[in-house]
Structure 1
Amino acid sequence: MTDLVIRPLVAGEEHLFTSMPDPLPGVPKNDYAGGIAAGGYRPERTWVALRGGRVVGRAAWVLPPGAVGRPWLEWFDLTVEPEVGAALLRAAHAALGGPTLYHAAVPPTWRDEPAVVPPMAAARLAGLVEQGERVRFAWTGTPREVSPGRYTFRPAADRAEIVTLVARIAAPQILTGTETARAVAGVDLGTDPLAWLSGPPRTWRVALRDGEPVGLAAAAGDACYPMIAYLGLVDPDALDALLADAVAVLRAGGAEEVVADADAYRTGVIAGLERAGFRPVRARITFTPA
């Protein structure tokens, strides 16, 4: 590590962060310059590793204004050996009061992408532990024609109905942005979605079988972008029809793209998203302090 310099940025040095070419340009990320302007990213929470004056590693911790938790590592790129990245993380952790969560944004086919190996190996060397993988899907185009079969759909009657149905659903199939909800507001999107999703009850769709509610979806067109923020089922067979209904509602509201997140291990949910015309655009692997 001869001539290696590891340090945080100071105000006015943001260009150092952006001087490093993005090793994964196809992965959707939050804009760094925009994050600096909004206050989520800050120079003192942005660290770089320089070798010969050139940035060979960079890491940016984000904490949106008003967030209740600690900053989390949102952006970590490395073009050299993992030991350099581990040294960067250890130095930053010491300055930030200890290790934090790391949400690694990678291609959905990340196991075949060499650029993801050094940062993830560095995170492990620095004492972070891989905890889980979630995949972001995006839908563009026209709704797939799905026969509702024995299901019908309507807007939720009120908040009380949403709360009642959420209590019946032990493990929602789709939770979009759950990591952000927990980190920013301390909210568990799976058990208390209304604490995070502020849209009116009519944006929630209820699936019914023989007049009884068997599924619930938040077609959140008024979020940062159109998404299926929550989808949970009492009747698993309602997945395809409820997905089609939620997409159709969002499309009727003007959406040209709809996103949805699912845990990578839920192969049945992922198959349902793909049948509905969704395609994977990003995976997010969470690392936690040991």
Structure 2
Amino acid sequence: MRPLAGREELDLFSRLPYTLNEELAGDLDTGRRRASWMWVALRGDRLVARAAWWGRPSDDAPSFLDVFDIDDTEPDRVAVGVRLLQAAMPETLQAGTTPPEYVRFIPPDWREDATSQKVVQDRMTALEQVGARLFVERLRLEWRPGTPVPEPDGRLNFRAVRDTEEILDLMTRTLDGTLDAHSRDDLTRVPAREAAQRHHDDELARYTSPKDWWRIATLPSGEPVGFVVPARNDYNPIIAYIGVLPGHRGNGYIDDILAEGTRVLAVQDVPRIRAATDVGNVPMAKAFQRAGYVNYERQITMTWS
């Protein structure tokens, strides 16, 4: 059980398959990953398990654990996974802090496929044995070029965000009645305004894509009804945030707002647009489906208390 000696061991680390393998080299080059955050369990020269954390280049500690794999031919694979995590976590994470969340991308039909179900459950069992618990399951969605985008029907007008205060005010107001698990958890800890500020500062403000892509949706009178934040993260064009103000929910405005966000990105000639929403956020999931977004993966998130 040890961390990688350096970038030269990336081929060793990549012997176990996962969708993020193709991003590892670029992440190492940019500092989003570090060799000391990438651990392997070896039986002789055979890779039997691995774990890796991801973080922002400027941060001293990782933001989340997003690679955790075990060789499925291992008869004691859960125990091997537990031993790797027990060895790696004290050396990788800051002492006395809560471990960052675990994120795993899984097939959309993982519950119906016996092999996929076993893979997911083995990893979850190992993580549970080191103190993690299931927090939320999310749909990962993708819009592909050629998918029709409805033209504006005139019910809403769209304009750019005037300033940070305006978007923070709208974010704060949309937290009332939110179905998003992370937002609901935030609201058990801090007031809505502080939760909105943290989300803005920790995520939205960090995107290097143009802020004039962000859109406020208004009635013809100018009254705001919601907003959407189209952006580009380190990997893909995304719908980063979308919301309808509580007093305007139930009128179908989410479809118009999502269509506007999709249009903003589609005209950039992008190869895809990614988005995500909680399985339990049924209204948002249905809106993405109506807009032609395909559920190509799911995501399991586990947290430590």
Higher strand proportion (structure 1 or 2) = 1
Deviates more, 1:165-174 or 1:69-78: 165-174
Match of 1:242?
257
What's the TM-score, normalizing by structure 1?
0.81
> How far apart are the structure 2 equivalents of 1:190 and 1:200?
15
Match of 1:129?
133
CA shift, 1:89, in A, is: 0.5
> How far apart are the structure 2 equivalents of 1:10 and 1:223?
25
In 1, are the aligned partners of 2:204 and 2:240 still within 8 Å (CA)? no
CA shift, 1:135, in A, is: 2.3
RMSD: 2.9
1:287 aligns with 2:302: yes
CA shift, 1:215, in A, is: 0.9
CA shift, 1:276, in A, is: 0.1
* Structure 1 gap ranges (5+): 1-5, 176-185
Match of 2:186?
none
Where do residues 256-267 of structure 1 align in structure 2 (5 Å cutoff)? 256-267=271-282
> How far apart are the structure 2 equivalents of 1:69 and 1:215?
35
- Count of aligned residue pairs for this structure pair: 271
In 2, are the aligned partners of 1:215 and 1:242 still within 8 Å (CA)? yes
CA shift, 1:90, in A, is: 0.7
Match of 2:28?
36
- AA of the residue aligned to 2:41: A
Q: 1:124 to 1:279 in 2, by over 3 A?
A: same
1:162 aligns with 2:167: yes
SS at the partner of 2:5?
coil
Where do residues 71-150 of structure 1 align in structure 2 (5 Å cutoff)? 71-79=63-71, 80=74, 81-97=77-93, 99-111=99-111, 112=113, 113=116, 114-140=118-144, 141-145=146-150, 148=153, 150=155
CA shift, 1:174, in A, is: 8.2
> How far apart are the structure 2 equivalents of 1:138 and 1:194?
20
Match of 2:4?
9
Match of 2:185?
none
Match of 2:285?
270
* Structure 2 gap ranges (5+): 182-195
In 2, are the aligned partners of 1:61 and 1:75 still within 8 Å (CA)? yes
> How far apart are the structure 2 equivalents of 1:265 and 1:29?
29
1:217 aligns with 2:228: yes
Higher helix proportion (structure 1 or 2) = 2
CA shift, 1:229, in A, is: 1.2
Match of 2:193?
none
Match of 1:3?
none
Where do residues 37-76 of structure 1 align in structure 2 (5 Å cutoff)? 37-67=29-59, 69-76=61-68
> How far apart are the structure 1 equivalents of 2:239 and 2:87?
39
Instruction: Report percent identity of matched pairs.
Output: 33
